[in-house]
Amino acid sequence: MIGLLEITLAAGAVAAALTTSVTALVRPRPAPPAVGPARRSARARMWLYAPIWVTALLLSAALLRGPIALVAGVGDHCTAEDHHQHHLCLLHPPHASGRASAWLVTLAVVLPALALAARALRANRREARLEQTLVRSSQPSTLGPDVRILDQTEPLALTVGGLRPVVLVSRGLMDVLSPEALEAVLAHERAHAARRDPLRARIDRVVAAWLPRRVRRALIADLALAREQACDEAAAGRCGRLRVAATLTEVARLGVAAPAVGTSITSSPLEARVHALLAPPPSASAWSLGALATTLGVAALGLGPVHELLERAVALLLH
Amino acid sequence: MARILRLPDLALGELEQAVLETLWSNGPANPGQVHASLGAARGISLNTVSSALKRLHDKGLLEREKVSHAYVYRATVTREALQRQLIGAIADQFSDGDAGLLAAFVDVAGAGGEATLRRLEALVASRLAEGGEP
């Protein structure tokens, strides 16, 4: 078992490091404007979480090739008990190598990854404590237990909190918006709460810590746009697409003097959101042919070349 | 003019916030008075309340002056000012460029400027005028 763990962890570490490097080199651009939020978000997450899903898929496929072949009755020579060949197989795992090399490779990747993730986790925690203070300082509203009031005269509406999201609305916003516009804003923010967007964004942020800054920013920004559009769609379901689009421009107009909450994305997200609302509803499907093909490709890599590679690695280690 | 608070000082504990609430609602008070408003309900001692007041004072959220033998504490920030600073601090957490997690309804900085906003308003207005399905 140790032998299997040793080689699997090292292989996983290498795969994760390579995947991250590929993402860093490719520098994935945001999806084109016409892409709906489900697909935009799925595409961005596919890149962001690649070190995890690609590694998991490659390793599972590589390790399962033996048992699959056994069941299917074709392919791998696992059943041919050739003791001079080192097979990568769950049924006949390699023994421990007694050397440090594989473990060192694992540590060389895992330690920096943990350090980067820890930094993001600490930032998340600081943010959570500040949000807690903010929510506690807010006052109850007549709009529901999930909505609380901030004293600000600037128009603000935001959703904070990981486990129990709360919608915060400023007095300034409530004083100037028409009831219909306020309804649209609340529908949008409540959608963020229902989707647990603050929590998802926090997890995204930890995983994003492994990527270089520019690549990270582009992916996170795309995810942010996808989130906003998804909640715009939810609000549009209640209030109508045009009403939500009008509310967006109305609040933007009001807020021109307000402090910037969050940073801006390169091409104006407001424009993208308004155009999306003035167009027919986008497809709700997250999967594209490209995504499916990529996944199958990675699985095939695992079953084939990666499996062979690992067997060579095991042979190298045990000699 | 309210002091800009350091980031760590802005995250307040539950008791600290309750103390601040009392001072906001009831005005300046000494530890005994604050304890009377709070302590009984929470079963905490006068000492605990005094410590919380002192902590808030050290953070710059309260001022105090000695009246007879006790300090009378007064809030230096309003609720609005504290909230403004909190929001700013939260937004700054990831000022490294990651889009804010506050899921603000409209990210004003992302509105793209006056020209874009005018164009969008005109677009929306013309659709509304068409009497299109809202």
Among B80, B106, B114, the residue with its CB nearest the CB of A251 is B106
Res. A81: pLDDT tops 70? no
Residue keyed to tokens 């689009």:
A245
Q: What is the mean pLDDT of residues A135-149?
A: 94
Interchain pair A134, B103: CB under 8 A: no
Of B40, B3, B4, B9, nearest in space to B22 by CA? B40
Which pTM does this prediction carry? 0.86
The answer to whether residues B79 and A135 touch, using CB atoms and an 8 Å cutoff, is no
Model confidence pLDDT, tens digit, residues A152-180:
888 888 899 888 899 999 998 899 999 99
Mean pLDDT computed over every residue of chain A = 86
Query: How many angstroms away from the CA of A149 is the closest CA of chain B?
Result: 11
Q: What is the pLDDT of residue A76?
A: 58
A interface test, pick of B17, B79, B98 with most A CB neighbours within 10 Å: B98
Closest A-chain CA to B111 = A270
Report the interhelical angle of A269-278 vs A241-254 (nearest 10°): 160
Maximum distance among all Cα pairs of chain A, rounded to whole angstroms? 80
Res. A150: pLDDT tops 60: yes
- Inter-axis angle of helices A197-208 and A101-137, nearest 10: 150
Task: Identify which of A157, A205, A240 has the shortest CB distance to residue B104.
Answer: A157
Q: From CA A102, how far away is CA B86, in angstroms rounded?
A: 47
Cross-chain residue pair B109–A268, CB shorter than 8 Å: no
- Greater confidence, A244 or B42? A244
Residue of B nearest to A173 (CA): B105
d(CA B121, nearest CA chain A) in Å: 6
Is B99 close to A221, i.e. CB distance below 8 A?
Answer: yes
Residue carrying the six token digits 């559009």: A229
User: Is this prediction's ipTM beyond 0.90?
Assistant: no
pLDDT in tens, A87-110: 666 767 777 777 888 899 999 999
Per-residue pLDDT tens over the stretch A196-218 = 998 999 999 999 999 999 899 89
**CA-CA-CA-CA torsion sign (A97, A102, A106, A108):** positive
Classify strands A147-150 and A139-140 as parallel, antiparallel or unpaired. antiparallel
Chain A, nearest residue to B81 by Cα: A152
Mutate to test the interface with A, among B10, B15, B101 (most CBs of A within 10 A): B101
Judge whether residue A305 has pLDDT over 50.
Answer: yes
Q: Is the dihedral of CA A114, A109, A30, A294 positive or negative?
A: negative
Mutate to test the interface with A, among B108, B117, B118 (most CBs of A within 10 A): B108
CB-CB contact of A146 with A190 (8 Å):
yes
- E strands within A57-146? 139-140
Q: Helices (H), strands (E): how many in chain B?
A: 6, 2
pLDDT tens-digit readout, B70-88: 899 999 999 999 999 998 8
Quick one: pLDDT at residue A85?
57
Alpha carbon distance A188, A158 (integer Å): 10
In Å, how far are A61, A257, B99 from A167, measured between CA atoms?
44, 22, 18
Confidence (pLDDT) at A259? 38
- Answer whether residue A262 shows pLDDT above 50: no
Q: What residues of chain B score a pLDDT lower than 50?
A: 1-2, 97, 99-101, 134
* pLDDT at residue number A260: 38
Contact at 8 Å (CB) between A249 and B117? yes
From the CA of B14, how many Å to the nearest CA of chain A? Answer: 8
pLDDT at B78: 93
Residue A25's CB: how many other CB atoms inside 10 A?
9
Closest CA to A133 of B38, B127, B75, B13: B13
CA distance B42 to A277: 50
Give the residue from chain A lying closest to B24, CA to CA. A137
The answer to whether A263 and B97 have CB atoms below 8 angstroms apart is yes
